[in-house]
Structure 1
Amino acid sequence: MNEHATTNETITITKGSAELLHIYIPYNPAYIERIRRIKGRRWESKPKVWIIPYTTAAIQEFMNQFDPVDVQIAPELWVESEELQHWKTSKGSDAWSKESLQKALTLRGYSRKTIKAYCNQVERFLSSLALKDTDVTSSKVQTYCLGLLEQGISHSSVNQTISAIRFYCKHVLHHPTDIQYIRPKKQIKLPKVMSEKEVAQLLKSVTNLKHKTILFLTYSSGLRVGEVVRLQCSDLDIERQTLIVRQGKGQKDRRTLLSNLAWEIVQEYITEYRPNRWLFPGQSSDRHLTERSVQKVFEEARQRACIVKKVSIHALRHSFATHLLENGTDLRYIQELLGHTSARTTQRYTHVSMKNIQRIQSPLDRLDLGE
């Protein structure tokens, strides 16, 4: 019989601290013999736990001694240990049908980005379970998500993980849909916005014409990075002076602004680069530029412009909306330009707009503090 043969008992490995891992092992002479082979291990009788160093060498020795089928990895450890992730998934990749999940998502019109995210989240969740106990239950989902929150994963990411697991259970496993999961309360985060002066600094810092055109259009039209890289030459509606965003978030088409200045730069760019289908082709003309490339362009421009705010290219979209609001544009029009389904999403910009805040006098300024 193989030394690593599966038993009916599950080993759990968790993160004890930045330097130590805790291993909970049901009493089994074979398991005890294996854990004793790991250098630096020790037994703590009070909590009844084996402790090993949190080092690559100790993790490798642990993986050599045990079978992933017998091991459950705590969520907070799963998130940060690539070695354990690879060990678990390489041995258990057949435990679920990634292809079935991809097909179910595609048939229901989910975007490529969401399909990739859902598949990764479901794979991480299932791989964190002991392979011999892969039934999905509410308690397992709650325990896993609690571990993610304790690791500092954002509430929105954990909520998406829950949505991915629910979808998998309903449309792939065909489980009853009455399983209820407690979701973490959605965090209210204000959009990160640049001032008009900062946007001007950023745009003036760019000399490469292609990069300049990308950033001008992103701000001028309030685009997401995934939308700007997928623009086609036919999406420019010159007569109406608008830009057509096809299959944006939520698989919706919309029209947004195309400013005079942005159009002048686009014309100059088209004359020099002569794009065919994609307005911003990648290294191969039949494929568009990658989102990562554009994010890098923005980051380099931010550094050249000496903008200290830690913002991503998405801040240009937030700034577009906030600056429109500050200049008197009705929220309903901004909602249409951004492609928001809910007005509540657009209303976030009222919290970062300085238009009304600057009109308010602090009570301190009204005090007579003269001697």
Structure 2
Amino acid sequence: MNWTAKLIKHKGEDRIAVFFERDAELIARIKKLDGSLWSQTLKVWHLPDTYDYRKQFGIMSPEESVPSAEGIDGIAQFKRYMKSKRYSENTIKVYSEALKSFLVFYRTKPIREIDNDDVIRYNNDYILRKDLSASYQNQIVNAIKLFFLVIKDTKVDIERIHRPKRAKVLPNVLSKEEVKLILDAHSNIKHRMMLCMIYSCGLRCGELLALQPIHIDSKRNIVLLKNAKGKKDRIAPLSLKVLAMLRDYYTFYKPTTYLFEGHKPGKPYDARTLQQVLKLALEKTGITKPVTLHWLRHSYATHLLESGTDLRYIQELLGHNSSKTTEIYTHVSTKSIQQIKSPFDDL
């Protein structure tokens, strides 16, 4: 594109001036950019000085893609704090990357000078401008709130940092017939066993892969889930049919450390490979829905509810902190809805 850009001060505000030969098409394009204005005094189009616009117009120096030295130290301190609090490695990684994005955006501003208005500006000029999801924005908020709880002597009021309004999305649920087709699709006993365990116990993918043979209590017909999400232990009932399948599986594979191991003995099965196991099952059944492993957990909860299981027990089985999380399954259960007679039938 035949234009150049540079940083300017206009009416006391940091802006990006964009210079180009007079061209109707280019003028129409720059008018569509958020915050674009024409300066009659400077005779130039100018834009807000944002990270994205700096990147778009090529006026960002290489060092601007990383936080300041103070920001790098802050992230390192943040990681040490989370490790000492025994946050999971995944949470540490997610929060650190989220915080890095925020501190890159404010790399020229001392951390102690960052305030709540800066958080709002970041949400508007980075999160919303890039059309990033509400869940990603929520991760950013979690990281920022925790970071400024650790880093003292700042202008940020943690309690005033607002969260994005979440979309009320219903969980995806399969019918029992669809679940049976998926679970019966594989002849490979390990593949079939893993999918059966997820559905029959309502497990998350990570919970399944962390299982060890000692976590199967065949005397009490339960599965012990150690250090599940939120560092909580919980138990799940074990189907007698699944227990019989587990015995056959254990005899054949003889796992050492983990109940489901990959090619290397003593190492847990790979999560991405497990996703492929499900994908192959869907191909075999001809189900075209975008099913994920978590759909099996959602289906387990919904089918329990439809069979009359009390919502409080389902909350315990799924390991939810709040009953509000579990209550969402009442909106996808069709048992009561199917009993409602449509007035159309009386016409």
Task: Classify the TM-score, shorter chain.
Answer: 0.7 to 0.9
Report the Cα offset of residue 109 of structure 1: 3.1
How far the C-alpha of 1:271 sits from its partner, in A, is 1.0
TM-score, length basis structure 1: 0.76
Which residue identity is paired with 1:156?
S
Q: Which residue type is aligned with residue 154 of structure 1?
A: S
Distance 1:136 1:96, change over 3 A: farther
Counterpart selection for 1:300 from 264, 269, 280: 280
- Offset at 1:310? 1.5
- For the residue of structure 1 that corresponds to 2:228, the secondary structure is coil
C-alpha distance in structure 1 between counterparts of 2:2 and 2:284, whole Å = 42
Secondary structure of 1:206's counterpart equals: coil
Find the partner of 2:79 among 86, 102, 109: 102
Tell me which of 268, 277, 295 is aligned to 1:288: 268
1:333 aligns with 2:313: yes
Does 1:119 pair with 2:99?
no
Query: What letter is aligned with 1:95?
Result: G
Identify the residue that residue 224 of structure 1 maps to in structure 2.
204
Scaled by the length of structure 2, what TM-score is found?
Answer: 0.81
- Note if 1:25 corresponds to 2:7: yes
Equivalent-residue separation in structure 1 for 2:267 and 2:2 (angstroms)? 47
1:242 shift after superposition: 0.6
Q: Name the CA shift for 1:176/1:240 in 2 (closer, same or farther; >3 Å).
A: farther
2:329 paired with 1:352: no
- Residues 22 and 49 of structure 1 are in contact (CA less than 8 Å); yes or no, is this contact kept in structure 2? no
Distance 1:20 1:221 in 2: 60
Distance 1:321 1:133, change over 3 A: same
Cα gap change, 1:166/1:24 in structure 2, threshold over 3 Å: closer, same or farther? farther
Q: Which moved more, 1:111-120 or 1:92-101?
A: 92-101
The answer to whether the Cα contact below 8 Å between 2:223 and 2:237 also exists between their aligned partners in 1 is yes
Matches within 5 A, 1:35-54: 46=38, 48-49=44-45
**TM-superposition CA deviations, 1:128-179 (whole Å, max 9, x none):** 2343555432122112223424544332331221111111111145536634
Assess, with a 3 A threshold, how the Cα gap between structure 1 residues 264 and 122 changes in structure 2: closer, same or farther: same
The match for 1:145 is 123
Find 1:265's aligned residue among 245, 255, 260.
Answer: 245
Conserved in 2, the CA contact under 8 Å of 1:25 and 1:49? Answer: no
Q: Distance in 2 between matches of 1:104 and 1:307?
A: 46
Q: Number of residues paired by the alignment?
A: 316
Q: Which residue identity is paired with 1:26?
A: I
* TM-superposed deviation, 1:23: 5.6
Looking at structure 2, the residues matched to 165 and 279 of structure 1 have their Cα atoms a distance apart, in angstroms, of 38
Matched, 1:191 2:171: yes
Kindly state the Cα deviation for residue 319 of structure 1 after the two structures are TM-superposed. Answer: 0.3
Amino acid of the residue matched to residue 305 of structure 1?
A: T
RMSD: 3.2
Is the CA contact (8 Å cut-off) linking 2:175 and 2:299 kept in structure 1?
Answer: yes
Write the deviation string for residues 165-221 of structure 1: whole angstroms up to 9, x where unpaired: 111111145536634222222222111111101101111111222111110100010
Would the aligned equivalents of 2:5 and 2:17 in 1 still touch at CA under 8 Å?
no
Map of 1:67 onto structure 2: 61
How far did residue 282 of structure 1 move? 3.0
In the alignment, is the contact (CA less than 8 A) between 2:3 and 2:19 conserved in 1?
no
Instruction: In structure 2, list runs of 5 or more residues that go unmatched.
Output: 21-25, 31-36, 48-53
Superposition deviation, residue 308 in structure 1: 1.8
Please report how far the alpha carbon of residue 59 of structure 1 lies from its aligned counterpart in structure 2 after TM superposition: 6.5
AA aligned to 1:297 is: V
1:156 aligns with 2:135: yes
Give the Cα–Cα distance (whole angstroms) in 2 for the partners of residues 266 and 20 of structure 1.
66
CA distance in 2, matches of 1:257, 1:114: 28
What secondary structure, in the 3-state scheme, does the structure 2 residue paired with 1:46 have?
Answer: strand
CA offset at residue 346 of structure 1? 0.9
CA contact (8 A) 1:170 1:176 kept: no
Which sections of structure 1, spanning at least 5 residues, go unmatched?
1-18, 37-41, 52-57, 72-87
Alignment partner of 2:256 out of 276, 287, 291: 276
Query: After alignment, is 106-115 or 172-181 more displaced?
Result: 172-181
3-state SS in 2 of match to 1:279: coil
Q: Is the 8 A contact 1:230 1:288 kept in 2?
A: yes
- 1:245-256 correspondence runs (5 A): 245-256=225-236
Contact 2:18 2:46 in 1 (8 A): no
